Amino acid sequence: MNNLIHRHRAAVGDALGRFARVPISSGLTIVILGFAISMPLLLYKLTESMNRVAEKYQYANTMILFLSPLEDISSPQTDSGQEIRNLMLDLLASPRIEDVRHIPREQAFDEFKRESGLSGILDRLPNNPLPEILMVSTVENMDAENMKMLTERLERIPLVASVQHDRIWRERFQAVASLFQNISLVIGAVMGLGVLLIAGNTVQTVVQSRGEEVHLLDQLGATSLFIARPFLYYGLIIGIAGALVALVLVVICLNVFGEPVNRLASLYGSDFRIQPFALADWAKVILASGVLGWAAAGLTVAAYIRRLRINASGR
């Protein structure tokens, strides 16, 4: 057991010594890996933040009913207020509707004047152009299909001129979020392959520079694992270092652009926020990049040893 620990310690020391011998080459490789890994990570954070907003509005349960002008559909003998109350009672009888609130057109007009800052212009209008409004709250967790069916039913009511809710906006937002998610997955896969190629090419350069040592160890009967162990740790260290560089780049980008983007979203009344990286995300990125570096080194060294032995047996 102590002998095995000593071998691994020696392999790690050999890998770190390689960094000390060629710091510029190793450093450039790590920086290139960091830039390659940071691109899908940034897209991942953007997609994650968009999905959080989409999940929040997935079951948005507020609908706005704009009523038709009552004089257009009611007779002089009919009390318009009573018609609205009857409509509210009919809506509350539906199992899909939880609450209905009436906003009189005068109240809506006063609120609009106060919030828009156009009271001076609006006061010159000959009459109030706003309709009566009903705020309808549906039951929680109503899916898009049931929301669509309820909307179609409400639009068929003679007293209702139009129905407004966030379904269309939500579906478009979810489509954009899904698109970004697919793009991030594709770029992540391509960059993962890039990490394999970059790490593999770097390890191959190291193996070729120590070709005589590898050949001698093979001639002395060393196992493939014994020969490959220092290179495996070299690939592992490159992968982990590249991941750390990528995470630092992502954190810098999020700090530089995150607050302006969040402020811009707030100005448009959106809940979109770019979320920072959690410690679990750090661990996953470091682990994945380390495994890719280890795998790239293993594949490269195995191919080199196999070629070496084929050439030796050919002689």
Which residues, in sequence order, are CB contacts of 290 under 8 Å at separation 6+? 236, 239, 240, 243
Specify the 3-state DSSP secondary structure of 123. coil
* CB atoms closer than 10 angstroms to residue 165: 20
Q: Of the spans 79-83, 85-89, 144-148, 173-177, which averages the highest pLDDT? A: 85-89
Shared-domain flag, residues 201 and 287: yes
Mean pLDDT of 71-96: 73
Shared-domain flag, residues 52 and 184: yes
Which pLDDT score is estimated for 203?
A: 81
Question: Total structural domains in the chain?
Answer: 2
CATH code for position 149: 3.30.70.3040
258, amino acid identity: G
* CB atoms closer than 10 angstroms to residue 51: 17
In this predicted structure, the answer to whether residue 268 has a pLDDT above a threshold of 60 is no
- The C-alpha angle 309, 313, 315, rounded to 5 degrees, equals 120
In this predicted structure, the answer to whether residue 314 has a pLDDT above a threshold of 60 is no
Shared-domain flag, residues 68 and 127: yes
Q: Is pTM, for the whole model, over 0.75?
A: no
Categorize the per-residue pLDDT at 259 as very low, low, confident or very high, splitting at 50, 70 and 90.
confident
Mean pLDDT of 57-67: 71
Give the structural domain span for 186.
2-57+171-314
Shared-domain flag, residues 99 and 192: no
Which pLDDT score is estimated for 270?
A: 58
Where among 144, 165, 186 does a domain terminate?
Answer: 165
> pLDDT for 119-155, tens place per residue?
666 677 777 777 888 888 888 767 767 777 888 888 8
Rg of the chain on CA atoms, in Å: 33
Shared-domain flag, residues 207 and 285: yes
Q: In the chain, which ranges are E strands?
A: 62-67, 97-103, 133-138, 160-164
3-state DSSP helix/strand/coil % of the chain, to nearest 5:
75, 10, 20
Tokens 């191919």 sit at which residue?
Answer: 303
In the β-sheet with 62-67, what is the strand arrangement from edge to edge? 97-103, 133-138, 62-67, 160-164
Shared-domain flag, residues 73 and 150: yes
Shared-domain flag, residues 189 and 161: no
Higher pLDDT, 57 or 204: 204
Q: Of the spans 73-82, 221-230, 255-264, 267-276, which averages the highest pLDDT? A: 221-230
Q: Of the spans 42-46, 110-114, 217-221, 294-298, which averages the highest pLDDT? A: 294-298
Categorize the per-residue pLDDT at 51 as very low, low, confident or very high, splitting at 50, 70 and 90.
low
* 135 beta partners: 64, 101
209, amino acid identity: S
Burial of 159 (0-12, 13-18, 19+ CB in 10 A): buried
Which pLDDT score is estimated for 5?
A: 72
Shared-domain flag, residues 131 and 275: no
Per residue in 221-245, is it b (16+ CB within 10 Å) or e — as a string? Answer: eeeeeebbbbbbbbbbbbbbbbbbb
Which residues, in sequence order, are CB contacts of 74 under 8 Å at separation 6+? 80, 83
Specify the 3-state DSSP secondary structure of 277. coil
Shared-domain flag, residues 187 and 156: no
Per the CB < 8 A criterion, the answer to whether 175 and 144 are in contact is no
In this predicted structure, the answer to whether residue 31 has a pLDDT above a threshold of 80 is yes
Which pLDDT score is estimated for 205?
A: 81
Where among 143, 165, 187 does a domain terminate?
Answer: 165
Where among 165, 180, 202 does a domain terminate?
Answer: 165
In this predicted structure, the answer to whether residue 59 has a pLDDT above a threshold of 50 is no
Share of the chain above pLDDT 70, in %: 74
Tokens 């979320």 sit at which residue?
Answer: 275
Shared-domain flag, residues 302 and 195: yes
Higher pLDDT, 238 or 257: 238
Higher pLDDT, 313 or 200: 200
Categorize the per-residue pLDDT at 228 as very low, low, confident or very high, splitting at 50, 70 and 90.
confident
Shared-domain flag, residues 277 and 186: yes
Share of the chain above pLDDT 90, in %: 1
Mean pLDDT for all residues in the chain: 76
Categorize the per-residue pLDDT at 76 as very low, low, confident or very high, splitting at 50, 70 and 90.
low
Higher pLDDT, 57 or 113: 113
Shared-domain flag, residues 127 and 260: no
